[in-house]
Structures are given as C-alpha cells and as structure tokens.
Structure 1
C-alpha cells in the first residue's frame, strides 16, 4: 500500500474511531496537529483509541509511550510509522 492510500485510510479511520461526526475527510489535512490548541484538539483518551486503531487496522503497535508522542503528531507521522513498521514485519 502506498503512502497516499495509507493517509486516506488513516483519516477515514480517525473520523470513525473517534466519532468525529463534525469532520469529513476533506477537513483533516495530512499535517494538521492532532493534539494541542490547534488542529483536532484530541485528548489522552483519543490517543489510546488511535493506538488501538493502528494495531487493528494496520497491524502496527506502539509499545513505548514516549514514541507514541512522536508518532501521533499528525497523519504524516502516523503514515511514516505504519510504513516503517510494516516493512520490518515483512522482512
């Protein structure tokens, strides 16, 4: 799966898993911050949901909470993590 498709799937899953009914796929950009005062303004419960979503939908697991803070920044960073970890599991 290529990076653009992964990003599209991520956005769709983020909306679905977090029940963001006020958002459409067009509303969420690849570099929109997921946490903090700008962007989606998600919270710690949402980060747990995103972690579960990554494992269920993409087969990748965040095992280190410090790593998670770097991965769950935006759609781009999540897609990079998925690509890097799916490649590791194939090798």
Structure 2
C-alpha cells in the first residue's frame, strides 16, 4: 500500500472522527464525497479535511475550483495532489 495514501486514510478517520471506519476500510479509488457510494462525505467534512491536510502537510489549497474538486475526489487523487504540491515547494 502507498504510504501517503495510508496516511491520508488515517488522517480522514481521525480528523473527521469516523468511529465506524478504519483506514483499511477505505479504498483509495472510491469517491470521498456524495451519496453515490464511497465515504459519502459532505461539504463540512471537506472543510475539516482541507484544514487537516494544510496542517499536516503544510500545503496551500485554493478556494473550491473544478481542479480542487478533482483532487478531493479520492484518496488516490489527494495523494497525487499533495506530492505535486510538495514537489513545487522544493
């Protein structure tokens, strides 16, 4: 398993206090938001998750755009976004 993806899964469970979900229950490709399966997170969860990601990884997340929605679509996309942002900071 990808280490960053596992860190993100743990961060989501901890930051959003998902008591009935373990990091291993989350598929890196499944959608994080919406009613169509996956975790079914909502806009409040998105704000909390954005803050947790900024604090944990020290990256800037712009206001909600289509690109940001794409990055937050799945764990896999988030991991790629964080890697790209950390690469840009160097």
Asked whether the two chains share a fold, i.e. TM above 0.5, the reply is yes
Task: Count the aligned residue pairs.
Answer: 88
Which of these residues, 3, 14, 35, is aligned with residue 5 of structure 1?
3
Match of 2:22? 24
**RMSD across aligned positions (CA):** 1.2
Higher relative contact order, structure no. (Cα contacts within 8 Å, ≥ 6 residues apart) = 1
Query: 1:47: how far off?
Result: 0.4
Match of 1:81? 81
* Runs of 5+ consecutive residues of structure 1 not aligned to the other structure: none
Per-residue Cα deviation, 1:15-51 (whole angstroms, up to 9, x for no partner):
0000001001111010111011211110000000111
* Runs of 5+ consecutive residues of structure 2 not aligned to the other structure: none
Match of 1:50? 49
Query: 1:4: how far off?
Result: 1.2
In structure 1, what is the Cα distance between the partners aligned to 2:60 and 2:89? 11
The TM-score normalised by the length of structure 2 is: 0.92
- Structure 1 stretches of 4+ with a deviation exceeding 6 A read none
